[in-house]
Amino acid sequence: MFPDPNESDMNIVHISAECYPVAKAGGLGDVVGALPRFQTELGNRAMVIMPMYRTPYLYSHNWQVVHKSSANLGHWFFDYTVIKEQTNAQGFELYLIDINGLLDRERVYGYNDDTERFCAFQISAVHWINAWDQLPDVVHVHDHHAGLIPFMMQHCYAFKRLAGIPSVLTIHNAQYQGQFSWDKSIYVPQWDSWKRGLLEWEGSINPLASAVKCAWKVTTVSTTYLHELRSMSNGLEPLFEYEKGKCSGILNGIDYTVWDPSHDRYLEHPFSTLHLSAGKKSNKELLCSQFGLDPSKPLFVFIGRLVGEKGADLLPQVVYDSFEFIGRKMTFLMLGSGESDIEHRLRQLNALSQGDYAEYIGYNERLSHQMYAGADFLLMPSRVEPCGLNQLYALRYGTVPIVRKTGGLYDTVIDMGDPSGYGFTFQHAAVGDVTQAIYRAVHFFSEKDHFHAIRQKIMGLDYSWDRSAAEYIRLYKGF
């Protein structure tokens, strides 16, 4: 049953596949780990429902069973258990759904039965909410893993009680849509067959498209990304054009309790604007010494998934061309994992290195913080970037972003050519454009006073969650 109601203004339920620090594969996890806390601080009651994976967080916290029941995934009858983190350690109520044989895995995604896993998760979440005495004021679903929920709440016979609850979809990444074929349509609990069109897109069941059609409101994590989706969204372009009236962009914030260079538990040398030069210098020296890089040269870093979406395939040639055409005037450090071909090509560059290139292939949260703190420039040649958090972290840590003008990068980084500028931007995801921007940055690095002033400025920019969290509340109150 739903725990005791309290006096808070709104009861908000977030449903997501990721939530930092419980389980994170990218920006979705960061957002769902922060937004509910800020909504709670604004006087609301916000909770997160997510799958119970077998991640370290599970074993280092105390849990209490709050609900046990069973449901159907097609002909398969399964039991599920809901557990609650007892201390609200994350600043909001956190509930995990356990389904043996499906969700009890170490990784979030990447299994052959992901369709079954996330369908069963969504069914359990809705099934549980349907059993509450007091229903929530809003159900906020994130990306396609929770995308069937607005449809289920409105058109599945078993959940008709939920049909009047406003639902919001936030799209963190529309590239992934969770499509599956109609022969698995029995995974959606018995529904009104006249509503078939609300599940379908281009001959398949498409959870993301279904959520765009059925959610009361749709948000994307930046305004420019929303515009881009109308012309480039992996097949959903006409849908975004048609539904534009209920869509809006709300930029993500960053969580200053985790991402603050003066209190960052991963840094050996925390720093603030007061000791900016000294702080950046000691972090850079430590980082460079770990990787055998020369700290006197400007340090360019990349942090992220090594996939085409992030423009990571351009990086090996960018490094090569920079050394070739600009000279050995800079150092590079790459952190990421992803497509094996890109990983391989980045490793191969080591042969070229004369103490000016290094890479770390893998996921390393600690190192990422040390890189934001120690780097001079952050490279983001993304082809698609719904919001992008890295550039916001970089700004906070006094690292100048070099970004392609797309999505949230367009909305958050102003080129140095503008009087109010503080970063470097370029138009195309092309080696030449990135190398040209690096050339400009190397020159800028030598203008010490200007460089220092820009660092001071970017560390003070406000991309806090307070602003974004309030915008979401305004959206909910508009129902």
Residue ranges in contact with ligand ADP by CB under 6 A: 26-28, 30, 303-305, 335-337, 363-365, 368, 387-390
Q: d(Cα 394, Cα 454) in Å, to the nearest integer?
A: 13
**Best CA proximity match to 367, nearest among 341, 332, 333:** 333
Q: Which region holds residue 247: left if phi is over 0, alpha if psi is between -120 and 50, else beta?
A: beta
Q: How far is the CB of 173 from ligand ADP (least distance, A)?
A: 6
Give 55 or 337: the residue with its C-beta nearer to ligand ADP. Answer: 337
Shortest separation between residue 263's beta carbon and ligand ADP, angstroms: 17
Residue 477 near residue 469, CB atoms below 8 Å: no
CA separation for the pair 138, 165 (Å, rounded): 6
Helix ranges (H only) for 219-350 are 223-229, 237-242, 276-291, 315-321, 340-348
For ligand ADP, the closer CB: 253 or 388: 388
Nearer to ligand ADP, 111 or 363 (CB): 363
Task: Tell me the residue number closest to ligand ADP, measured at CB.
Answer: 27
- Of the two residues 24 and 45, which places its CB atom closer to ligand ADP in the complex? 24
d(CA 378, CA 426): 14
140 or 142: CB nearest ligand ADP: 142
Instruction: Give the up-direction half-sphere exposure of residue 182: CA atoms within 13 A in the CB hemisphere.
Output: 9
Nearer to ligand ADP, 120 or 371 (CB): 371
Q: Give whichever of 323 and 360 is closer to ligand ADP, judged by the CB atom.
A: 360
* Between 187 and 300, CB nearer to ligand ADP: 300
CB of 8 to ligand ADP, least distance (A): 29
Rank residues 223 and 337 by Cβ distance to ligand ADP and give the closer one. 337
Task: Please check whether residue 411 is in contact with residue 386, taking contact to mean a CB–CB distance below 8 angstroms.
Answer: no
Q: Torsion angle, CA of 128/134/138/141, rounded to 10 degrees? A: -10
Q: Which is nearer to ligand ADP, 38 or 302 (CB)?
A: 302
User: How many Å apart are CA 285 and CA 276, to the nearest integer?
Assistant: 14
Q: Least separation, in Å, of the C-beta of 309 and ligand ADP?
A: 7
**Shortest reach from residue 30's CB to ligand ADP, in Å:** 5
Query: Measured from the CB of residue 386, what is the shortest distance to ligand ADP in angstroms?
Result: 7
Q: Are 464 and 253 in contact (CB under 8 A)?
A: yes
Nearest approach, Cβ of 224 to ligand ADP (angstroms)?
14
CB of 464 to ligand ADP, least distance (A): 16
* C-beta contacts of 90-93 below 8 A and 24+ residues apart: 90/19, 90/21, 90/22, 90/33, 90/36, 90/37, 90/48, 91/36, 91/37, 91/40, 91/41, 92/36, 92/37, 92/39, 92/40, 92/46, 92/47, 92/48, 93/3, 93/45, 93/46, 93/47, 93/48
Give Cα 330 distance to the centre of its chain. 30
Residue 388 CB, shortest distance to ligand ADP, in Å, is 5
Judged by beta carbon, residue 27 or residue 136, the one nearer ligand ADP is: 27
Q: Are 34 and 14 in contact (CB under 8 A)?
A: no
Per-residue tokens: 468: 């974004």
Q: How far is the CB of 51 from ligand ADP (least distance, A)?
A: 18
| Euclidean distance between the first and the last CA atom of the chain, given in angstroms as a whole number | 26
Are the C-beta atoms of residues 91 and 46 closer than 8 Å to each other?
no
SS3 259: coil
CA–CA distance, 330 with 240 (Å, rounded to integer): 43
User: What is the nearest approach in angstroms of ligand ADP to the Cβ of residue 264?
Assistant: 13
Given a contact cutoff of 8 angstroms between Cβ atoms, the answer to whether 144 and 207 are in contact is yes
Q: How many CB atoms are located within 10 Å of the residue 350 CB?
A: 10
Give the nearer residue to ligand ADP in terms of CB position, either 305 or 440.
305
CB 413 to ligand ADP: min, Å: 13
What is the closest distance, in whole angstroms, from the C-beta atom of residue 298 to ligand ADP in the complex? 20
Q: Cβ closer to ligand ADP: 27 or 150?
A: 27
The Cα 197–Cα 178 span in angstroms is 16
DSSP per-residue letters across 53-71: ---HHHHTS-EEEEEEEEE
Q: Please report, as a single letter, which amino acid is at residue 90.
A: Q
